[in-house]
Structure formats: structure tokens, C-alpha cells
Structure 1
Amino acid sequence: ELLDQVSNYYQYQINHHSQSHQVQQYVKQRGLSPEIIKAFGLGFSPPGWDNILNVIGAGDHNKIQALFDTGMLIKREEDSSGNSSGQTKSPYYDRFRERLMFPIRDRRGRTIAFGGRILGDGKPKYLNSPETRLFHKGQELYGLFELKQALRKIEKILVVEGYMDVVSLAQFGVNYSVATLGTATTAEHLQKLFRLCDEVFFCFDGDRAGRDAAWRAMNNALPAIKPGKQARFMFLADGEDPDTLIRAKGKAGFEAEMAKAMNFSEFFFDSLMKQVDMDSLDGRSKLIDLSKPYLEKIQEGAFHTLMIARLSELADIDKASLLPLLGAKPERNQSLQKNNAFKAPLIQTRQAPSPVKKAISYLLQYPQLAENAGDPGRFMSLEVEDISLFVQLLDLLQNDPHLTTARILAHWQNSTQYQYLAKLAMEPLLITDEQAISCEFNETLHLLARLYQQQRFSRLQRKERTQGLEAAEKKEYGQLLLSIKSK
């Protein structure tokens, strides 16, 4: 209810604030009608640091705390004397200022968060509410409530990457799009969408980053695809986005481009075949191995059977010979039922992964994390499980930062570690927010650095007691001692 009040305040300001001319000019340039602005509840967060604090908080401690808890207010940093910076009365200030505001609503239409687009040249261009008790980015989709309001029967849903794409598409009559909220498409997103319709389109940029994002969406879609459900992948030309495309071609032209979207099996096998030599026996064998961990995630049924049949055609191997290579037995249904009955309690009781194992999982699904990880060699002497594999993976990605998950796995194709890595690549991550994943990965690097210092210190300590230390080792020993004591 409180965030609905905030949304109403922003909606009023877009038409009545003395400095709203810039936002009005922006929405006019984007061709947004008053009806669309109202339907999506677009608003304006005025200049100033305490509009929400004073108007909605209104000196009420409970309201101010609630505004802070829902991400609308930020707490000021305190100086060394314990006073808030700037000597202001309140320790809080508004999160959103001078932005076009997009309320994010839950399935019942209640405002649970906001996204804001800067109107000038400031950064960041888009600012989202943080994760809160009400708002979980990996579960919510922008525009889903508005879509359900506009359509009684939902035949298909288009997933795009930005708020403005959703609003612009709706303005031109494509009122069945939603956007993820600064995260990759998650399994929870897919389950929610497939409960509403049978066909989900994903729209991505055609560059490497777009195709990597599409692969992650495909991976998350695997367990969600049930009989009668379809996922398709639409890639845009360089410099194009859904907004520019629909403006150039209109609804009919845009939907004609959607009709050209790759179906699931086409995108899946096309992506994997680019990693192998299909003219050789080794290449076709590798295609089978690359496909196996993904096919295992697809539920039993016609789609699973047809995917195996397609792999049989591409690899030029009869289905009877292919099934054992995929780990399938003749009586597949009975075998899977037994396996599922056996695996269920294991899933419930499995231990949390070690930090290194978790970091490997993050690297497999987000290879760009390796870019700022520093020299992998500094971890080689650590006595930690999986550390050698972690170092090799870091080194590989730093030498070739554009590797996809499939190409990473192909690198270990003939190694005993292949199955282990393939399993990690398939496991759903416990967190889906990319910023949170980056923070946890960096924390793991810091943990390993501290562990290296502790192990190195212990080795030098033992050597000092038994053999004595050389001058350089004594200096290192003293530095490590100071570093460990300071933490």
C-alpha cells in the first residue's frame, strides 16, 4: 500500500511538477500515448533528495522505516563523529531522483518495486530497486500484470530486456511482452510464463553477449518445457532493439520477424554444432557428449523423444545405438522412475557446495567473471579441493574471454573432469542476480587469498622451527604475520 502511494505521487508529478517538461518531452519523443502512460503507471521522480522522505514519510518513523525497507530510501553514511554526512536532520535520502519511473507490480497489481530511467547523461542509465522482502528479481517480470490486464486469452509471451521495450511494444499493439529485471531469465520466470501460455519467445541482441544470454535462457528452460510448450529465440540485427524495430516495421512487420524466430531444437543444436567438426566422426561423437547433460534435464515425453531423434539424424547414428550413449536403458520409463525415486532424498539432503566448487559453477555460467580475477597462478599451491581445476578454468577464460559454456565444456571433452564440469554447468544456481553472483565470486577470491596467506605462513613457521629461514623468507614471514594479525 505504501509503494502504491509512492507510485501515485510519481504519476502526479509527471504532469504537474514544475520541472517535468523534460520527462514529458521524452515520452512524447518515444510516441507514448496518455493511455499507455496510464496503463503502465509511468511517473516522474523530481529533483531533490527528500521528496519521498517528506511527502510519503511525512515525519512518521514507521513509514520512513518501511520506505527504507522497501528500497525507496538510502541511509546516509556516517562520518567519524557518528553524525550523518551533510549534518542533515534525517539519516535517509531518496533513491530515485530526476528519472522516468516504471512501477513494478505483482500478480495482484500491487506495486512492489520501481525501475527508473535517467533523463540526462547521468549514470546508471537504468536504476532498479534493490532486493527486498517484497521484491525478488529472479521471480518477477516487468509488464506481466499489465499483459494479463490487456489480454483475456494469452497465446504467446515475448521476453525482452528493457522496461521501455515493453512499453513501446504495447504502444504499437504488441501487448504481450515482459522484461526481466536486470537478471538472466530464471527457471522461476519460465515456470510462471508457461503456466500462462504455450509459446514463449526470447528476444536478444544478435551479438555474442546476446547469444550467451539466450543460451542461459535455453538452459533454464529445459526442465520447464513440458508437452505442448515451446520456446523460440529471436535475434536482432546489430544496433537494433525491439523499440527501433517496431517503429521501423510496425506491428505486422515486427510479428513477421517473430515468425522467423529459431525454434528450441534449432537453436540448441545449431549452438552446439558450431563447437565441433560435423564432417568428422570425432566431431559427431563430441556433439553427442555435449548434448547429453542438457537432454537429461528435459522431461519425458514427445519433445524429449523428438530431440533424441534429431540428435540421431545429425550425428548420423541410429537411435538404438544412440540411447546407450546418452545413458538410457531399453526400458527407459521404468528406469527413470527408479532413478527419480532414488535421487529425490539425495537432493533434499545434499550438502552446500564448497566455495571453490561454487566459484567454478559461477565461471561456467558467467565466464566474464574471470576477467578481473587476477593471476590464477597465485592459488596453485593451495591445499583445497578442486583448486587445480579452478585455476585451469580461470587461466582458460582469461586467455579467451569470449568462450561460451558449451565451448568451455568442449575444452575438457576428453578429460576425466568433463562429466564433473558438465554436471556443475547444469545445476541451477542458488542465486540468480548477476551482481550478487559477482560479489560472492569476489568474496571467494578474497577467501582463497587469505587461505593462501595462512597456509604459506604455517609452512614458513614449520620451516623456521626445523631448519631456519633465509633472509627473504624471514621478510615474507614478518609481512604475513602482520597481514594475518590485521584481519
Structure 2
Amino acid sequence: MKKYISKKFINNLVFITNITQFISQYINLKKKNKYYYALCPFHTENKPSFIVNNDKQFYYCFGCNEHGNVIDFLMKYNGLDFLRSIKELALFNGYKNIPIKKNKIKYKYNINIFFKLINNVGKFYHKNLYNKNNYIAYNYLINRKLKKNIINFFKIGFASNSNDIINIFNKKKNNNLELLKVLGLITRYNNKSLKDFFKNRIIFPIKNISGQIVGFGGRSINNNFPKYINTMDNFIFSKKNNLYGLYEMYKLCKKIKYIILVEGYIDVLTLFQHGIYNVVSTLGNNINKIQINILFKNSKNIVCCYDGDQSGLNAAWNMLKLSLPYMKDGYQLKFMFLPLKEDPDSIIRKYGVLYFKKILNNAEPLSIFFFKMLMLKINCNSIEGLTNINILAIPLINKIPNKTLRFNLRNKLGKMLNIPEEILESLVSKNFIYNNKRFIKIKYSNMKLLISLLIQNPILFKVIPNKMLRIFNKSKILGIDFFINLIYNYNKNNYITTGQLIELYRNTKYEKTIKLLSIWDNMISSDLIKCVFIDIFYNLCKYELEIKIDKLILKERLEGLDNKQRILLWYFTKKLLEISK
């Protein structure tokens, strides 16, 4: 059954959070006048363009257009889903228990209970590996040339065929069974009996940077499909937010000169066993921006290790494209490709660690791999192929913040394709873009200006007489329904900030409009905002009244009016005279 947190709780959470204090945990904010400034964490820049407005509980970056409230920041910065962001925010504000609703019944989940339970399950799996009845699993690891000290260091375990965690962790009359379901450690089989999700699999605990187990990877020992599975996303785990071996790397590496990115759990274990500790792997999925951000936060130099087949090239190309915005001064990205059907584990077992290091030392720099792949994608012998440069190469090069690297790539591209500098320059956008986002331009109109002023200055709702809103009944003015809806919610909540407003309209048809208008530059000085707002509102009232009066007068001439319509005409005329005075 679907679980959710009440909007009232979320709205209160946003209201009590000091957004400046919260964001300052992640980035260095400096106060200037009434705002706080910082280098934007969402794109690379040299001058601060990221501002935080404490009064409105809102942040905005003039460089990349990222904006929102404190929940949006958590979701974007840490790559958390909405529910996990709420939990993080609740913990920041001292809430240990979060009210989770389920079919209108409240459940209180303490996040520490999840950590305690999953770590206990991890200990059980590890102990279970050494159970004499599970010799097949232990022998599998030994046959892969893994030593006992590495198995113990990573706490590798085994989930046997007998659903042990259900039997062991559900002995007491507590909520463990429900918690195991939430963590995705048990699942229902054929809609009947429960079973261990990782049944009959080698278990690889996935830890956060603090060393707490947050999830598991499971490998089939009999090659059943799928060969590898991971814990499903839940309260404490998200596959796209984690890298395997990150905690262990920090534990053993005194200084991380560079990080090797591999594709498998066993590859990490084998490299660790041979003294190469600066290695992590994805969790069986394609690399994503969040994981790349984690990599570059931990080292300026990344070496990606891929198979030499087509799928390996595709994975490397994807990595390159996603990494370009991180290529600041001093940052490097390299690619090493292994022989076909080989991985780091098999290479080391066959040829030794020295051979692997030799391949590692010959890793291709980003620039070489970039042009190698580009030449495979562009047909230089046709005009159509050369046209693709504008589509493929130039936008990618423009993502690089390092001016020297960007210039050298463009220069080399021109020489390789024998394109004169002036022609290549014409293909390059004059405006340097860090993140390929197109800003949506909002056309100027009275209605949009009125709504944007109200969103950015919620206190203005108090100057609108509720009786005046009645004249807009069945109005065809575009946006008037949204404006009235805003006034209704402001009245209902007495006063809410821009940050709370974003939360109130999250997942509604108005969410995008609110976010856009909340950052729209109205070009109106602060001392004139109230006057302009009132003036626009009453001009709209006049416009609407004139339309309604004209329609009623026309109808009276053509077919006459009944008593109700005459009263309306009198009322509209009276209101128009009052406004015009």
C-alpha cells in the first residue's frame, strides 16, 4: 500500500527550516546586503551567482537557472528522492520520528531502526557465509582467488536457500517483518509466501561514507538470471546515489591521487587484494551525474576501466559526455580499455597485477578518446557529415568550463576536419553554456506580471478585496483562475513564503509556472511593487467589467434582459464607477 507524508507536515517543515543555515552545511555562503551568495554547486563557475533568500525560503542561480526551496536543494544536491529529502530535513529540525500515512493510518518510522536492522542483516549474511552448509558459496569466492582477509574486510556474505532472515528476524513480536519489506529484503512469492529477496546469492554489502550498510548487491552462484541484483530503492538506499567500495577506499587510502572506476563488485575486491585501493564501481547500472559528482568530489583525476567491445565504448562515451561540465582547471578524465571478454579480475588472474598497471598507465586522455569516437560518428567525406559537427562536437566542447581545454579541442577539431578557424568559430555559440539547458523566456503580460509579483511577495494578497474576485466569475482572461487559486491559498494559510508555496503546488499543473515566475525579473524597484500590483489588478478589474457590461448591453438591445441580468448590469456598472474614481 502506498505511503505518504501529510502536506501539512511538509509545509510546516519548510516553514521552520532556516534555509540559509541548512544550505551552508553543503556550500560556503557569504552575506551581501540581505542575500547570501556562493559559487553554484550545480555548475562550474568562477564568480558567485548562487543566491539564497532567507525571507522567501528560496534559492536561485543566475548562471544555470537552478532554483527552488530547501527540499528542491536536497533533491538536486544529494540526488535524493522526495521522501528521503523530507526525512533528511526532518532530522535537521530534530524530528526523530516522521509521520508516515498509510490508508489514513499513521505509522512512525525511525530512520535509525532501518540502519540498525539492515546492518544486523548484513552481519547475519556474513556469518552465514561460513556456515558449513554453505560451502558452495564460500568455495565460489575461493575459486575466484579471493582471500579470507578481503572477504572479511568487505563483509561479504551469503543468503541461503532457506529464507533465514524471515525466520530469524521475525521471532519476536515486533515490526521487523514490515521493516524488512520496506527495505526490500523480503518479497512475496507468487502472491503467497514471503521469501528472501537475495535467496541463494553471494551478498556484497553496500556502505555509505560513514561505513553503515545501506543496501546489498547479490550475485547468483549458479548463474541464474539475472546474474546480479541490487536492493530496490527505499528510505535509506538509492542505487544511483552510491558507489561500491567508496567507504573501504577511504579506510585504506591515505591520499587519493586518482580513482579507478570499474564495472563490477569482484573487480573491486580483486584490485584491493593486490594493493590497489583507489577503486570503486557502479552498482551494475550506467554511470549517472550523481555518481560522477561523487567521484570528482573525492578526486580531480578519474580513470574509467571498460571492456574493449562496443558496449564498453558506448559506456565510456556516456561517461565522457556526462563528465564534461566537471572538466575544470586541474581535473582529468582518462579511459582504459581491456581486451575483449576480459575484466580487471580476469586480467589480474591471467597476467598478473603488473600487466594491469601497464594498461592503466597507458589510459587514453579525454581528448584522444573524444576525437576517436567523434570520427566514428561523423562522415567527413560528405557535407551532411560535416554538418553533424554542429550537432555533436560543438555543443559537447562548449560544456567544458576549462578555457584552455575547450580552446585546444576546438582547434584540433578544425585541423582534423580541415575547417578554417573563422568557419569553425561561426559554428560555436557566442554564449558559453555550462549545462545545455535552455532558459524558458516568459513573455511580458499584465497577468504574468501580476502573478509573479504575488508569488515573489506573498504579503500582497492582503490588498486584494475578496469581493472584487467575484467579478472574474467565468472570465476568459488567461491565468485568472490561477491567480484566484493563489489568493484562496494565501487566505487559507494566512501567510506562506515562496518556498512553502512551491511545496504546496508540487506535482500539480501549476508547479512549473510557480517556479518560473518565482525567479522572473520584474524590473520593478521594491518601493513600487505594491503600487504596481494594485494598479495592474484594478486595471484587470476594469477590463473584465467593461467586457461583461458590453455583453449585457448588447444582449439587452437584441433580446432584452431578465431581472437577474438587469441587477448584474447595475452591479457591474456601479463597480466600474467605484474603481474609476
Same fold (TM over 0.5): yes
CA distance in 2, matches of 1:99, 1:322: 55
Match of 1:229 among 311, 331, 336: 331
Match of 1:10 among 101, 125, 143: 125
Give the deviation of 1:281 after TM superposition. Answer: 6.4
Alignment of 1:55 onto 2:157: no
- RMSD over aligned Cα atoms: 2.4
CA distance in 1, matches of 2:296, 2:441: 28
* 1:41-89 per-position Cα deviation (integer Å, ceiling 9, x unaligned): 111112213x1112123344422211111110113444xxxxxx3xxxx
Q: 1:4 to 1:171 in 2, by over 3 A?
A: same
Letter in 2 for 1:4: N
Alignment of 1:39 onto 2:39: no
Q: 1:279 to 1:104 in 2, by over 3 A?
A: same
Alignment of 1:320-339 (within 5 A): 320-328=422-430, 335-336=431-432
Match of 1:296 among 390, 398, 422: 398
Give SS of 1:19's match: helix
Confirm or deny: 8 A CA contact 1:288 1:315 kept in the other structure. no
* 1:150-195 per-position Cα deviation (integer Å, ceiling 9, x unaligned): 1011111111111111111111222222111121111111111111
Match of 1:72 among 185, 188, 203: 185
Alignment of 1:14-29 (within 5 A): 14-15=129-130, 17-29=131-143
* 1:183-219 per-position Cα deviation (integer Å, ceiling 9, x unaligned): 1111111111111112111111111111111111111
Confirm or deny: 8 A CA contact 1:285 1:315 kept in the other structure. no
Match of 2:317 among 215, 226, 229: 215
Match of 1:306 among 397, 408, 414: 408
* 1:95-124 per-position Cα deviation (integer Å, ceiling 9, x unaligned): 112221100001111101111112224332
* 1:238-275 per-position Cα deviation (integer Å, ceiling 9, x unaligned): 12111111122322221110122221111111111123
Alignment of 1:16-165 (within 5 A): 17-49=131-163, 51-78=164-191, 85=192, 92-165=194-267
Alignment of 1:182 onto 2:297: no
CA distance in 2, matches of 1:104, 1:166: 12
Bigger helix share: 1
Confirm or deny: 8 A CA contact 2:228 2:284 kept in the other structure. no
* 1:384-416 per-position Cα deviation (integer Å, ceiling 9, x unaligned): xxxxxxxxxxxxxxxxxxxxxxxxxxxxxxxxx
CA distance in 2, matches of 1:267, 1:25: 40
CA distance in 2, matches of 1:12, 1:181: 23
Q: 1:309 to 1:174 in 2, by over 3 A?
A: same
Equivalence for 2:33: none
Q: 1:5 to 1:345 in 2, by over 3 A?
A: farther
CA distance in 2, matches of 1:239, 1:154: 29
CA distance in 2, matches of 1:241, 1:180: 14
Mark the runs of 5 or more structure 2 residues left unpaired by the alignment: 1-115, 443-581
Letter in 2 for 1:140: N
Letter in 1 for 2:142: K
Give the deviation of 1:284 after TM superposition. Answer: 4.4
Equivalence for 2:482: none
Equivalence for 2:575: none
Equivalence for 2:539: none
Give the deviation of 1:283 after TM superposition. Answer: 4.4
CA distance in 2, matches of 1:282, 1:66: 58
CA distance in 2, matches of 1:35, 1:255: 23
Q: 1:343 to 1:117 in 2, by over 3 A?
A: closer
Equivalence for 2:275: 173
Give the deviation of 1:36 after TM superposition. Answer: 0.8
Give SS of 1:20's match: helix
Give SS of 2:400's match: coil
Q: 1:281 to 1:122 in 2, by over 3 A?
A: closer
Alignment of 1:365-380 (within 5 A): none
Give SS of 2:206's match: strand
Letter in 2 for 1:211: L
Q: Among the aligned pairs, what percent are the same residue?
A: 31
Q: How many residues align?
A: 326
Letter in 1 for 2:313: R
CA distance in 2, matches of 1:155, 1:319: 37
Q: 1:285 to 1:76 in 2, by over 3 A?
A: closer
Letter in 2 for 1:56: F
